[in-house]
């Protein structure tokens, strides 16, 4: 099931497998870009399906997040366990990301050290680029050691990353 959600930052795509969030396509003012991304990943199925109580609650929480509220997405292990196609290193990176508090940033090197591989900053970046659950697994909170933003593979790139960090109060 896929949903399009209008947010303050634009249209967002959310894909559910039953009541499990499978993917989030971060907002873009251009709804067609979000629809195209969902089609490219074969998630478009026509009209939006009926919402279950769990999907409704998640969509409301996600909407609150994009309106600048600090929200709780629930048990992080639930999301990580759903990422069956990811290897142990990537799962460890995602678990580390989920410890970064709202409104704070860490470096790629910090994440690499946290997962027990201090020389793996580039591999951390590669894992972040494959993150299908941005915001829940907050890859936007990871920056370069020199304080610059680094890359961001979502539609909108580093401009969107900067907006998300500003929205969370990071200067």
- Distance between CA atoms of residues 85 and 58, nearest Å: 23
Give one DSSP letter per residue of 72-115, joined into a string. ----HHHHHHT-TTS-HHHHHHHHHHTTSPTT--EEHHHHHHHT
Tokens 């947010």 identify what position? Answer: 7
Catalytic residue among 26, 62, 133, 139: 139
Pairing mode of beta strands 106-107, 20-28: unpaired
Spatial contact of 103 and 168, defined as CB atoms under 8 Å apart: yes
Spatial contact of 26 and 160, defined as CB atoms under 8 Å apart: yes
Is 139 an annotated catalytic residue? yes
Enumerate the active-site residues: 139
């Amino acid at each position: 099931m896929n949903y399009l959600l209008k947010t303050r930052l634009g249209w967002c795509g959310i894909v559910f497998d039953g009541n499990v969030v499978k993917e989030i396509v971060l907002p873009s003012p251009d709804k067609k870009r979000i629809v195209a991304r969902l089609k490219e990943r074969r998630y478009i199925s026509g009209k939006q399906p009926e919402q279950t109580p769990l999907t409704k609650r998640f969509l409301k929480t996600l909407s609150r997040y994009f309106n600048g509220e600090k929200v709780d997405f629930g048990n992080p292990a639930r999301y990580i366990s759903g990422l069956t196609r990811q290897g142990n290193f990537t799962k460890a990176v995602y678990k580390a990301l989920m410890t970064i508090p709202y409104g704070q940033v860490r470096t790629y090197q910090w994440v690499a050290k946290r997962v027990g591989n201090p020389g793996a900053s580039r591999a951390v970046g590669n894992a972040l680029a494959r993150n299908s659950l941005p915001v829940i697994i907050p890859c936007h909170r990871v920056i370069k050691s020199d304080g610059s933003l680094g890359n961001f593979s979502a539609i909108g790139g580093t401009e969107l990353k900067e907006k998300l960090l500003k929205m969370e109060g990071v200067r």
